[in-house]
């Protein structure tokens, strides 16, 4: 089954477009885990425990998870080992894993990255990739993905303010992010109503999201910027097709750090696992599959 | 001492601008090492051995080394552990390490990457970073670098053909790579004739290199694309200042795989270490510090 088909089936089954972001920042870990981080092996254990508990608490509520590799890499190779463990654990529970690593390099180097993440025994189901180096830098990723039932999400319009610096520049009557969207389209060599070659568009830019969907009607779009970063569910759905399909919407801090925030803090106290589950239930409901409006 | 000052001192002392690229592709390893790669631990050992021997053979001939993280990551966390070992080994020999990882993400995630590579106990002396997400995505890297005597090289005009797709688009009378160069300049908040906030410009685009140097006269520019990719030393020097300073020119395959190629193959046979040293000597001479012409 293709990655695009797997996502579609999960969204239809679960009636939500929630992607749970796994960002194990040490300074935001629950107290009982943070206390273990005095040395690097303890930190690796704490990050592993936190990430696996997130998966346990949310696997039946979401359609995919998105571990952010930076927070694993931050503690070095031990963190990388945990990253691999987390990916394998989620995949073992049939939860597709989008590795958020934003890779991109010239051809033969991209091949090495693609092999690791998206190859025959690659560790993830999909990978975020950066288009600055151009289409020939992305092809090794899309080829590996399509050959192995995996997917990619190419950065088109990111959720941060600085995304304007390059992505919003006009060139020949179109903005750079529109040109990037066309590049995504040129790489969608797979068949089907929805493609496994997708895009990233922030919920913080709903107008741009509408434009991107016009350019790449077949794309799965990964939408960051929902929740803590300010985008609403309605904003996020601007990236969807009319029938609501074609998006997965990421929430990281709003779910995984819910134990420190109202109303979960008051309700669950130090029971951070229940807080995470409750916040994921709320997010899944807020992001219920719906016809676009 | 700042990263910019360290590079300048080394270039003046060694009278060359050679950067040795460490790209341990398994399928290009010398036969005696490739034979060890039947399992993953053997592959990790082979990659480590190859990389450390490259450093031993070239440390006195170059001004920095540039390990490409993709080829370590390709074998997973064990490769990451080797990457850290390789960085530490080179730094222990006073050879500055440019980690070629092309990172870039939104603010708090970039902070995690920056901490790992360029923080107080960061593993590298400098890091390549990708500007597609804009200036606010790069600031955590430049801040960490300047606070800790490290450097960054921001992708401006890459050496591959596809670099035209985004980097050569015209916007407001200038190309995107020129806008990126201006972004680099805006991030050069350090003092001195040369800045630790640098750029990447391929030797395969000499005209563009001249333009970039005009926009960022204070930048250290990392120049890939020399040698195997087709750029000559004269092409590479287009990125330099008039006095020849301000560039480091990377050669990977031309040096580290020299044992398989004429004239080194004929001369050294299976003695791959001597072939690497001889090729590095040739490259260092070809890239001798010179007044620009």
Q: What is the pLDDT along chain A (293 residues), one digit of tens a residue?
A: 999 999 999 999 999 999 999 999 999 999 999 999 999 999 999 999 999 999 999 999 999 999 999 999 999 999 999 999 999 999 999 999 999 999 999 989 999 999 999 999 999 999 999 999 999 999 999 999 999 999 999 999 999 999 999 999 999 999 999 999 999 999 999 999 999 999 999 999 999 999 999 999 999 999 999 987 889 999 999 999 999 999 999 999 999 999 989 999 999 999 999 999 999 999 999 999 998 76
Mean pLDDT of B255-275: 96
Separation between Cα atoms, residue A160 and residue A205, nearest integer Å: 9
Separation between Cα atoms, residue A261 and residue B252, nearest integer Å: 50
Separation between Cα atoms, residue B278 and residue B284, nearest integer Å: 10
Q: Which of B119, B121, B133 to mutate to test the interface with A (most CBs of A within 10 A)?
A: B133
pLDDT(B231) > 90: yes
- Residues of chain B positioned with their CB less than 8 A from the CB of A122: none
Mean pLDDT of B86-99: 98
Cis peptide before A44 (omega within 30 of 0): no
Separation between Cα atoms, residue A247 and residue A241, nearest integer Å: 8
- Average pLDDT over chain B, rounded to whole? 97
> Between chains, do B134 and A71 touch, taking CB under 8 Å as contact?
no
| Side-chain-facing half-sphere of B108: CA atoms under 13 Å | 13
Residue of A nearest to B179 (CA): A166
- Percent of chain B whose pLDDT exceeds 90: 97
> Between chains, do A25 and B108 touch, taking CB under 8 Å as contact?
yes
A46-55 burial, b if ≥16 CB within 10 A, otherwise e?
bbbbbbbbbb
pLDDT of residue B145: 98
Q: Quick one: pLDDT band at residue B289, thresholds 50, 70, 90? A: very high
Respond yes or no: is residue B161 known to be catalytic.
no
Mean pLDDT of B122-127: 98
DSSP structural state of residue A229: G
Maximum CA pair distance of chain A? 55
The minimum CA-CA distance between A209 and chain B, rounded to whole Å, is: 16
Scan for tokens 């005095």, then name that residue: A38
Separation between Cα atoms, residue A87 and residue A51, nearest integer Å: 10
How close are the terminal C-alpha atoms of chain A, in Å?
31
> Between chains, do B77 and A81 touch, taking CB under 8 Å as contact?
yes
CB-CB: which of A25, A133, A162 is closest to B162?
A133
Task: Give B64's contacts (C-beta < 8 A, 6+ positions apart).
Answer: B7, B10, B19, B20, B95, B96, B97, B98, B125, B126, B248
> Between chains, do B76 and A70 touch, taking CB under 8 Å as contact?
no
Q: What are the residue numbers of the active site of A? A: 102
Q: Quick one: pLDDT band at residue B228, thresholds 50, 70, 90? A: confident
**Active site residue: B49, B102, B273, B292, which one?**
B102
DSSP structural state of residue B229: G
Separation between Cα atoms, residue B214 and residue A85, nearest integer Å: 48
Q: Read off the tokens for B186.
A: 């805006």
Strand B98-103 to B247-251 pairing: unpaired
Question: Within 10 A of A200 (CB to CB), how many other CB atoms are there?
Answer: 29
For B55, left (φ over 0), alpha (ψ -120 to 50), or beta? alpha
CB-CB: which of B23, B133, B180 is closest to A162?
B133
- Residues of chain A positioned with their CB less than 8 A from the CB of B116: 70, 73-76
> Between chains, do B70 and A172 touch, taking CB under 8 Å as contact?
no
pLDDT of residue A151: 98
pLDDT of residue B293: 62
What does the pLDDT look like over B4-46, one tens digit per residue? 999 999 999 999 999 999 999 999 999 999 999 999 999 999 9
> Between chains, do B74 and A112 touch, taking CB under 8 Å as contact?
yes
CB-CB: which of B136, B162, B171 is closest to A136?
B162
The residue ranges of DSSP E strands in chain A, in sequence order, are 18-22, 64-67, 98-103, 126-129, 151-157, 170-171, 174-175, 195-201, 219-223, 247-251
The minimum CA-CA distance between A110 and chain B, rounded to whole Å, is: 8
Separation between Cα atoms, residue B162 and residue B159, nearest integer Å: 9
Q: pTM here? A: 0.98
The minimum CA-CA distance between B148 and chain A, rounded to whole Å, is: 17
> Between chains, do B70 and A130 touch, taking CB under 8 Å as contact?
no
Q: Which of A71, A82, A166, A227 to mutate to test the interface with B (most CBs of B within 10 A)?
A: A166
Task: Supply the CATH classification number for the domain A3-286.
Answer: 3.20.20.70
Q: Read off the tokens for A95.
A: 């939860």
């Amino acid at each position: 089954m293709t990655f695009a088909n797997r996502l579609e089936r999960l969204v239809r089954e679960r009636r939500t477009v929630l992607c749970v972001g796994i960002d194990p920042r040490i300074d935001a870990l629950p107290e009982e885990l943070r206390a273990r981080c005095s040395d690097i092996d303890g930190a690796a254990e704490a990050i592993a425990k936190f990430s696996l508990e997130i998966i346990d608490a949310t696997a039946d509520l979401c359609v995919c998870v998105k571990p952010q590799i930076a927070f694993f890499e931050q503690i070095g190779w031990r963190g990388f080992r945990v990253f691999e463990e987390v990916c394998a654990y989620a995949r073992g529970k049939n939860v597709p894993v989008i590795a958020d690593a934003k890779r991109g390099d010239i051809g033969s180097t991209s091949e090495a990255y693609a092999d690791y993440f998206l190859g025959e025994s690659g560790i993830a189901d999909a990978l975020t990739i950066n288009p600055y180096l151009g289409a020939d830098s992305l092809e090794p990723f899309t080829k590996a993905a399509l050959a192995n039932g995996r997917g990619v999400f190419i950065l088109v319009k990111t959720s941060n303010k600085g995304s304007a610096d390059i992505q919003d520049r006009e060139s020949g009557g179109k903005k750079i992010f529109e040109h990037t969207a066309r590049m995504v389209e040129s790489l969608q060599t797979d068949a089907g109503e929805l493609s496994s070659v997708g895009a990233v568009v922030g919920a913080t830019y709903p107008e741009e999201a509408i434009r991107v969907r016009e350019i790449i009607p077949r794309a799965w779009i990964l939408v960051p910027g929902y929740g803590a970063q300010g985008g609403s569910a309605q904003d996020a759905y601007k990236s969807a097709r009319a029938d609501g399909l074609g998006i997965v919407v990421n929430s990281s801090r709003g779910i995984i750090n819910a134990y420190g925030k109202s109303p979960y803090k008051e309700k669950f106290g130090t029971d951070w696992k229940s807080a995470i589950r409750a916040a994921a239930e709320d997010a899944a409901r807020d992001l219920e599959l719906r016809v676009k409006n």
